[in-house]
Amino acid sequence: MGWLLELDRRAQAWMERYGVLLLRISMAIVFIWFGVLKPFGVSPAEPLVRKTVAWMPVSGDAMLIILGWWEVAIGICFLYRPLIRLALTLMAIQMVGAFMPLVVLPADCYVRFPYQLTMEGQYIIKNLVLIAAAIVIAAHTPPAHIRCGKTG
């Protein structure tokens, strides 16, 4: 049984060493992939985005371009350690918009409010996992002034 405990200890050490890095890379892939689809008009989220922003003075096309490149920027920032805090800030702003359809388009998000979601609603709720991942990344990313050795 000692070999099993040693294997577990090594696996734990590997996860501690690489887990946050893999989480950052995963977040980057998701944001870049989903983001790049929007400006090219091939995102499955396009109809929902258009309906959500219909009340805004900006056209749906412009909003898709802005939102898409915003998401790509978030993903790129997750890859470059000095920009992680910027990624988290941009993501926090983006998530406000991502959850808006739950409030402004309930007929598109719920079959039965509040527990039975449509596919669109499920697409939105999965963002809770991204938020949790961002919290873990933030917890393991000291502010820039601490990384640089400055304390004041």
Averaged pLDDT score across all residues of the chain: 93
- Sequence spans of domains, the chain: 13-147
Instruction: Judge whether residue 152 has pLDDT over 50.
Output: no
Nearest by Cα to 81 from 15, 147, 150, 13: 147
Interhelix angle 60-79/84-104, nearest 10 degrees: 140
| Contact present, 132 and 140 (Cβ < 8 Å) | no
pLDDT at 101: 97
Percent of the chain with pLDDT over 90: 86
- pLDDT value for 146: 55
